[in-house]
Structure 1
Amino acid sequence: MLDVVPLLISAFIIGLLGGGHCIGMCGGLMGALALAIPKEQQHKKLLYLILYNLGRIISYAAAGFIFGLAGWAIDQSPAADALRIIAALLLISMGLYLANWWSGLVKIEQGGQVLWRHLRPIAQRYIPIQKSSHALSLGLLWGWLPCGLVYSTVIWSASQGDASLSALLMLFFGLGTWPTLIASGFAAERLTHFLRSRKVRSAAGLMIILYGIWTFPGPHHHWLIEH
């Protein structure tokens, strides 16, 4: 179990560093959800935001497991290195996107619109949130919102060749996004401004680019493969 700890930490950090992107994709929704909670339900705001985000990361974990099954099948074939190369390239693209140096990843996000067009009308039924089950259901659906950060991370997690580990990595990635999105639900302007600042986004993007380079197949991965 100890051999997967560095991967879990990496997944959490990717989610945490992607905070600026998360604010752009979901921060507005979190603020809107908080504002749309009826006055008589305001004392449940934190509970609703937690349940929404819980549903969101459950969806991430489910996606990790589904893609992890495909990753496991590919890992048994000569195409295993190709999947790791794709994962590395996506992480590098995500880093460039976070740092506002290149926005090519937006085109990949657009591909997810096909699924989202079917899910969005269902998600809108739960707004405004009236009870706990609505918050959880909305999060479960919103977890499939087209997002380059999620796509990059899920392919990286799938490249590990283990569906259960892939799901766990996506769970930790989702946990890494929690601080930012919970704070945005409470209109924490200082944190939002900090995470969206050019220096922070550039630093976060650079770190993810470096991790993407590290993800490329090579001798440095032998210790992971052996475990």
Structure 2
Amino acid sequence: MLFSAFILGLLGSFHCVGMCGPIAFMLPVDRNNALKKALQIGVYHLGKLLAYSVIGLVFGLIGKSLYLFGFQQQLSIFIGILMILVVLIPQKTFNKYNFSKPVYKVISKVKSTLGSAMKKKTMDTFLTIGFLNGFLPCGLVYMAVFAAIASGNALNGALYMAVFGLGTIPLMTTAIYFSQFLKGAARQKIQKAIPVFVVIIGVLFIIRGLGLGIPYLSPAPVLDAVSASMDCQL
């Protein structure tokens, strides 16, 4: 499933360029020193990876609590269905209901702090900008969070989100260096492919939750596996 996290981040970064691109373009990088500029961009990405890992850690813990209660398979199926529904439900429905409203004050605080950090040029500033950027609302991040919940524990959740973040790095870095590269029909085609890939991931989570006994893809439930092992010994 980690491969799906990287691909989701890679394809989703075309969406991220539209959402977070302005922040990337406005980074107070050193335009006269190529090495320092590359280091500053790297620290910015590190900040985002840390933010995504923290998010994955928190939601992975939620997934672990559900796993301990025996809901892991049902959770995987639910997450898969939820991913598919998010793609199929018209965007205007989400625009009608502001799901971010309960945390609006927190988001406003993040944006305010982010704006202040953009005025500085110290190395820790880029870490702060990246970290805060990682907490801004984003539909693709929500998809990755769903997967982090279904991962089953905090470590896997953090790892999934970190790999998702790694997937966004190539294109976001390109956006900083070559903004014109990301325009045109190619970008539109890849953006159209994102929902298709999200649906594929959703289907994979459903298959995983069904416990069909397929190694790696849909392993049998632990209790069933233990029971089968005991029967063989008898």
> What is the TM-score with the length of structure 1 in the denominator?
0.82
Could you tell me which amino acid in structure 2 is paired with residue 127 of structure 1? M
Corresponding residue number in structure 1 for 2:182: 191
Q: Is the 8 A contact 1:116 1:145 kept in 2?
A: yes
Could you say which residue in structure 2 is the equivalent of 1:165?
156
Is the contact between residue 30 and residue 184 of structure 1 (CA under 8 Å) also seen in structure 2?
yes
Q: How does 1:1-227 map to 2 (within 5 A)?
A: 7-33=1-27, 36-37=28-29, 44-93=36-85, 95=87, 102=91, 104=93, 107-108=98-99, 112-193=103-184, 196-197=187-188, 199-216=189-206, 217-218=209-210, 219=212, 222-223=218-219
CA contact (8 A) 1:61 1:167 kept: yes
Contact 2:45–2:130 (CA under 8 A) maintained in structure 1: yes
Whole-angstrom CA distance in 2 between matches of 1:224 and 1:22:
36
For residue 184 of structure 1, give the secondary structure of its aligned residue in structure 2.
helix
CA-atom RMSD, angstroms?
2.7
Q: 1:38 to 1:214 in 2, by over 3 A?
A: closer
Amino acid at match of 1:28: P
Q: Which runs of 5+ in 1 are unaligned?
A: 1-6
Q: Kindly state the Cα deviation for residue 84 of structure 1 after the two structures are TM-superposed.
A: 2.2
Which residue does the alignment assign to 1:4? Answer: none
Name the counterpart of 2:230.
none
Contact 2:44 2:129 in 1 (8 A): yes
Mean Cα displacement is larger for which, 76-85 or 148-157? 76-85
Q: Deviations over 1:84-119 (max 9, x none)?
A: 24422443255559xxx6454554455553421222
d(CA) in 2 for partners of 1:24, 1:224? 41
| Alignment partners' CA distance in 1, 2:161 and 2:123 | 24
Against the structure 1 CA distance between its residues 133 and 150, is the aligned structure 2 distance closer, same or farther, given a 3 Å change threshold? same
Aligned length: 215
Q: Is the 8 A contact 2:29 2:41 kept in 1?
A: no
Determine which structure has more spread, i.e. the larger CA radius of gyration: 2
State percent identity of aligned pairs: 28
Q: CA deviation at 1:37?
A: 3.8
Query: Retained in 1: the 8 A contact 2:55–2:158?
Result: yes
Structure 2 CA distance for aligned equivalents of residues 14 and 224 of structure 1 = 26
> Which range is displaced more, 104-113 or 144-153?
104-113
CA distance in 2: counterparts of 1:186 and 1:225, whole angstroms: 48
- Check the 8 A contact 1:22/1:180 in 2, yes or no: no
Q: Distance in 2 between matches of 1:55 and 1:16?
A: 18
Determine the C-alpha separation between the residues in 2 that align with 1:37 and 1:155: 34
Change beyond 3 A, Cα 1:112–1:53: farther
**Shift in alpha-carbon separation, 1:191–1:96, aligned structure 2, 3 A:** farther
Q: Is the 8 A contact 1:20 1:195 kept in 2?
A: no
Cα–Cα, structure 1 residues 90 and 148, in superposed 2: closer, same or farther, change >3 Å?
A: farther
Give the 3 Å change call, closer, same or farther, for CA 124–205 of structure 1 in structure 2. same
CA distance in 1, matches of 2:124, 2:180: 28
Indicate how the Cα distance of structure 1 residues 132 and 108 shifts in structure 2: closer, same or farther if over 3 A, else same.
same
Task: Please tell me whether the aligned partners of residues 52 and 161 of structure 2 are also in contact (alpha carbons under 8 angstroms).
Answer: yes
Equivalent AA in structure 2 for residue 49 of structure 1? I
